Amino acid sequence: MDKNIHLTFIISLTICVFGGGISGYMLIENWNFMDALYMTVITIGTVGYGEVKPMSQTGHIFTIFLILTGVGFFAYIGSTLVQSTVDGRLKDMWGRRKLDKQISKFKGHYIICGYGRIGRVLLQQLMPKISEIVVVEQDPNLLPIMEEDGIIYVHGSSTEEKTLLKAGIKNAHGLVAVLGEDADNVFLVLTARQLNKELYIVARACQEASKKTLMAAGADRVDSPYDVGAVRMAQAIIRPTVLNFLDYAFARKQHDIQMEEIKVRGTSGLMGCTLQESGIRQKFNLILIAIQKKEGQMLFNPSSKTCLNEGDTVVALGHPNDLIAFDQTLDPK
């Protein structure tokens, strides 16, 4: 039964029981309202006080029924409270067990530590592209928000090994540290790197001095939201058209153009081909902006003689459907 409906039913039942007792004494014994109310309360409450006034035999019979009604009423209220508490705990336990079981099956997932303002926006950006994400959050006030957002989460401190292990860090591909304090992010990165040497770690830094510390702790990339925001505002003044284009290309809501990166796998039919031989422009109607070689070298506006090798990452611009088709060619599942 819905909680609101249940509460309405209990209130209605209370009004009926007490209203019936008061009305009964007023009609049967011809008592005034206060005497009838007092007698009803001590009768239903079974406190054992004496009668307000001498009663008739009919009044005694009515009191017997009122006592039985009062006992049943309080028994029902008590059982309802116990059931609500037990059901709530069982629901929480069952939901937590279900989440833990789901997390244990994840392979190559991402862990976001911190679900504050940055963490929540970050998750909204990642979810359209990445399905397996686990959020680690310590603040109990944020748990209802994550429940409402349908987030798979672990409640606990991100700096504790047991919490990260519960989030499946051993099988995770990447971790994002967006805790509020730089010191917490440093400790988190150290712990995460110790638990998974291959983990790709992105960390948030509030202070400039913390960037080097986070990199030394094991972060692969460190970003400052303040720096990123300041650079973006500067670009809005200096290069507004370029910024509008990038916003347009990166916005998931757009359906006619999108920028994407795709890795070349060993099973790809285009591996070893030059861009001219691949016919990417003709087949997929895409613009190749850059190719990052496996060694890390970035080739901007690659020439037609550039070869596609295993491990290369292609940055392309075009229609989402064409990008999907190109992805299936470079990275066949």
Q: What is the pLDDT of residues 92-124, one digit of tens each?
A: 555 667 778 888 888 999 999 999 888 998 888
Task: List the CATH code of the domain at 3-101.
Answer: 1.10.287.70
Domain residue extents for the chain: 3-101, 107-229, 255-330
Please provide the CATH number assigned to the domain covering 107-229: 3.40.50.720
Strand order in the sheet with 258-263: 258-263, 313-318, 287-292, 298-300
- Copy the structure tokens of residue 159: 């700096």
- Residue 55 contacts by C-beta under 8 Å, 6 or more apart in sequence? 29, 63
Q: Report the 10 Å Cβ neighbour count for 325.
A: 15
- CATH topology classification for 255-330: Alpha-Beta Plaits (3.30.70)
Contacts 24+ apart (CB under 8 A), 296-304: 302/275, 303/275, 304/274, 304/275, 304/276
Residue 25 has pLDDT above 90, yes or no: no
| 289 backbone φψ class: left, alpha, beta (φ>0; ψ -120 to 50) | alpha
Q: Closest Cα partner for 316 from 287, 274, 296?
A: 287
- At 90, the pLDDT band (50, 70, 90 cuts) reads very low
Lowest mean pLDDT, pick from 126-130, 139-143, 162-166, 313-317: 126-130
Task: Indicate whether this model's pTM tops 0.75.
Answer: no
Most confident of 196-205, 253-262, 291-300: 196-205
Give Dmax over CA atoms of the chain in angstroms.
Answer: 110
Q: Are 63 and 53 in contact (CB under 8 A)?
A: no
What average pLDDT score do residues 197-214 get? 92
Average pLDDT, integer, range 201-211: 91
Examine the pLDDT at 175 and tell me if it is beyond 80.
yes
Distance CA 147, CA 120 (A): 13
pLDDT class of 15 with cuts at 50, 70, 90: confident
- What's the pLDDT score for residue 158? 92
The percent of residues above 70 in pLDDT, for the chain, comes to 89
Of the listed ranges 170-174, 236-240, 278-282, the least confidently predicted one is 278-282
